[in-house]
Amino acid sequence: MNTVNINGVEFAPLPGVSYRHNYGHIVADIAAKKVDELSVYRALMLNDLWFLLYFGMGYAVANHPFWISACREVEDGPGDFTLDIWAREHGKSSIITKGETIQFVLNNPEKSTGIFSYIKPLAKKFLFEIKETFATNRFLKACFPDVIWENCEKESPLWALDEGIVLRRRTNMAEPNISAWGLTEGMPIGMHFDRRIYDDISTQDMAKSMDVMDAVKMNFDSSQNIGKEGGHHRVIGTYYHHADPLIYIRDKKTPEGMRKYLLRRKPATHDGTATGRPIYLSQKRLDDLKGDQTFNFQQLLDPTPLADQRLNPGFMVRVERKEIPDDLYRVMLIDQAGDLDSNKGGAGDCWAVGVIGVEKRTDDIGQCNVYIEDLWITPSSESEAIEQIVRMYLRGGMVQRLGVEKVGQTTTHLHIASALKAHGRHVSFEDKTDVGVLLRPAGRTKRKLIESALSWPLNNGKIHYSSDVPNAYMERLRLEMSNFPFWHDDGINMLAYLYDVIKDCYFPSEVEDREEDRWVEKNMYKAVNSRVGY
């Protein structure tokens, strides 16, 4: 078929691609006066999302098999409880947040849409493009004079990014036709939306703080109450973290145990791997992105693919407290953060304190079984942290070594020693023979320290944890391992220092134990034989 022109947009159908309509035939029918031009284009924009995007809104990139298929999937699929996780630059916001929102208003000028992002300025960026489309797009105005104002700025009763925009409608509702909101600021009061779009509720910045992510999850749940009976909503985004709000939404269940949301996951490659074939981006563009630390979660939709995972938390072994051996070499380790006031707490840097028991024998290559018996990882002021350290030390039993990370000129170790002394425990950090030991990276990067210390024992099932350890702290430790080296590392840094503390300790090996057992058995046999006269 020859190239056709609609609204000044050139179109040549791609070979082998199934479009919803034969646009060449439609143009021919219009030219032959068989149908009314504006009526046909109006009907197409109301019912053909791809047509609206490509011809109505001028998205030239939309004439691509990926966009055509994605538009068909969105409009033919369910309109409610959908979760679209697509790679960056793959058009999810253009297709759903902008294009489908415009289509919804054109079909339903008496109904409302609320766009929700992590913070309101992000949602306003989506609203800005929609607002400008309505204000400047002559093609849309010609097809929908009953919905779009001729001069939106002057004629509309409300036309602002902060409050929202109102198109032509007969009813006087509290809600604008389209408005923008933030889940962590400026949530609407007294409004109920027919349609809610959640886009950019997870970002790279917010993924730095567990507290912020938890707040977004809670506010997302709360925002369900500003929908209405018969309304619907969609969630759109890209993963940034193993515990971000999109994972939380993905895993929501109905009372019957079924998934609440239909997940439409579209990584940048056909098989979701870095070596896979690109589904939309050029191979060159994809290769250029592969060098970025964000490639895994923005393009492959996985913050830490298993192939790249250096510390797999699944290899930690949970044991009941009663199963932990009694005769352990017990070490208490402290990775200090800044004081809560200077650290601001929200950055996610935590104090990490652990009581670790070490089995007093090694395997064939010199590794011990270790047991996390007590754990505490949380933002805290120094005074609160020291109180917690004292409590853990006192309930930890016989602690042979107390290791405190030495950061710059800090004197935290002296404050800890003073606090323990007030409880009758005397700990000194003066020399290597003392219970106290100062922990330093000794020229190693934190990444090198952690990876070299933990990889082998973790991957070989040497790291255990007690069933008594609070799950919240174990979950934090797992998250640090899963996201290493791209996230916070307070707990795993503390755990890595264990191997500095015990490196000079002598624990007999299992081989030595077996040889000793054989020597004892052999000599007992000789002694018995000599007594019976053999």
User: Looking at this protein, which amino acid is placed at residue 218?
Assistant: M
Place of tokens 């709000």: 245
Phi and psi torsions of 336, nearest 5°: -90, 145
Q: Which residue has the tokens 């040889």?
A: 515
pTM assigned to the model: 0.68
For the record, the structure tokens of 196 come out as 């809610």
Edge-to-edge strand ranges of the sheet holding 113-117? 159-160, 164-165, 178-182, 113-117, 195-199, 232-237, 82-86, 262-266
Structure tokens at 108: 């339903």
**In 321-442, beta strands by DSSP E:** 328-335, 351-362, 368-378, 401-405, 436-439
DSSP state of 253: B
Dist. CA 128–CA 161, nearest whole Å: 7
What contacts 31, CB < 8 A, 6 or more positions away? Answer: none
Give the DSSP letter of residue 380: -
d(CA 213, CA 206): 6
**Dist. CA 190–CA 171, nearest whole Å:** 17
Cβ–Cβ < 8 Å for 186, 120: yes
- pLDDT tens digits, the chain, 534 residues: what are they? 579 999 999 999 999 999 999 999 999 999 999 999 999 999 999 999 999 999 999 999 999 999 999 999 999 999 999 999 999 999 999 999 999 999 999 999 999 999 999 999 999 999 999 999 999 999 999 999 999 999 999 999 999 999 999 999 999 899 999 999 999 987 898 899 999 999 999 988 887 777 788 899 999 999 999 999 999 999 999 988 777 899 999 999 999 999 999 999 999 999 999 999 999 999 999 999 997 778 888 999 986 555 556 788 999 999 999 999 989 999 999 999 865 544 443 445 799 999 999 999 888 767 899 999 999 999 999 999 999 999 999 999 999 999 999 988 889 999 999 999 999 999 999 887 789 999 998 889 998 999 999 999 998 899 999 999 999 999 999 989 987 876 789 999 999 999 999 988 888 875 555 454 444 444 544 444 554 444
Of 81, 97, 77, the closest CA to residue 224 belongs to 81
- Tokens representing 307? 């192939």
Spatial neighbors of 308 by CB under 8 A, at least 6 apart, are 296
DSSP 348-365: ---EEEEEEEEEEEE-TT
Q: Which residue has the tokens 């759109």?
A: 236
Domains of the chain, earliest start first: 1-76 (no CATH), 78-266 (3.40.50), 325-507 (3.30.420.320)
For residue 76, give every residue at least 6 positions away whose Cβ sits within 8 Å of its Cβ, in sequence order, or none: none
